[in-house]
Every structure is written in structure tokens, then in C-alpha cells.
Amino acid sequence: MQNQVPKEQEVSQPKQEVVPEALEFKDKHKNWFNYDSTENAEMTKLAIAYEQFLAKENPNMPVKEVLVKIEDTLKKIYPHRFENQKQEQPAMVAKSTVSSTSKYPLENKLTESQKNLFKAAHRLDPSLKIEEYVKQLELTGRLKNDN
């Protein structure tokens, strides 16, 4: 009798159905829906996490409505990524002359994308504290070094 490969390996995970609207969304937002940069990765992860949250909260919500909510939320958090969407090259942005001081000193330790990600996460979970977020970034070595 020969040893056979267990059938469990063939059925490792159920296949998820990819809907055409999701593929269109990914193609439409290919300029950020990827992991090519830190900000792109944050936006992509946020979009995926928000989709999972919406699916859990309202499993019967139509896919198009979910994608509109994701896009609207990301436009609010990352408006600079949607302003010149028709252009191939992003517009040059002058460095701000506004002081980077904040009424929340810990916020000054964060990059703009980290601030945006915290704001998005805080909207989803208002109990999240900036102190906890900064501590996690410090522990993982992802806190900006230009202080």
C-alpha cells in the first residue's frame, strides 16, 4: 500500500469569489492600491480592513455601496492622493511654512501618513489612544527618526 498525500492539503482555504466591481476598484485606484510605498500600503490595508468591517457590520450591503464608502473615507483621510487623479504625475507641493507644533506633542513624532492612519483607526475605534499608537510604532521601530 502506497502513502498518499492527505486530502486536507487540497482544501486548505475556501476560495473567495472576486467580484468584477472589486477588480474595477483595484484597477481604478492602482496608483495607491498596492504596497509600493509606506503610504500606499497604509491606504491599501485601511481599505481592506474597512471592507472587512463593513462586511461584518452589514453583510447584505451591496458591493458598490461598500466600495463607495471605502473611497469616500480614503478621500477624507488622504485628500492629496485624490486631488489630481487625472494627472499621471502628482503636482509638486511646496513645503509648509506652518509650524509643526501641535497641541498633542506625541503627534509631532508621527509622519503625515502615520497621523492619517491613526485618525482613520481612531474613527473606527474611538477608544484608541495616540499614546498607545506611538508606543506600538516605537516598539516596532517605525517611528520617524527626524526628531
Q: Which amino acid does the sequence have at 53?
A: F
- pLDDT tens by residue, 11-50: 444 456 778 898 999 999 999 999 999 999 999 999 999 8
Q: Say if residues 20 and 65 touch (Cβ distance below 8 Å).
A: no
End-to-end CA distance of the chain: 68
Collect all residues with Cβ–Cβ distance below 8 Å to 76 and sequence separation of at least 6. none
What's the average model confidence in pLDDT over 41-68? 92
Grid cell 458591493 is found at 63
* Of 87, 86, 69, 66, the residue nearest 77 (C-alpha): 69
Amino acid 115: pLDDT: 81
Q: What is the pLDDT of residue 45?
A: 93
List for the chain the helix, strand, coil content (%; round to 5). Answer: 55, 0, 45
Helix axes 38-57, 112-124, angle to 10 degrees: 10
pLDDT at 17: 72
**Range of lowest pLDDT (63-67, 95-99, 100-104, 142-146):** 95-99
The pLDDT tens digits for 88-135 are: 444 444 444 444 445 557 777 788 888 888 787 777 777 778 887 777
Structure confidence at residue 46 (pLDDT): 93
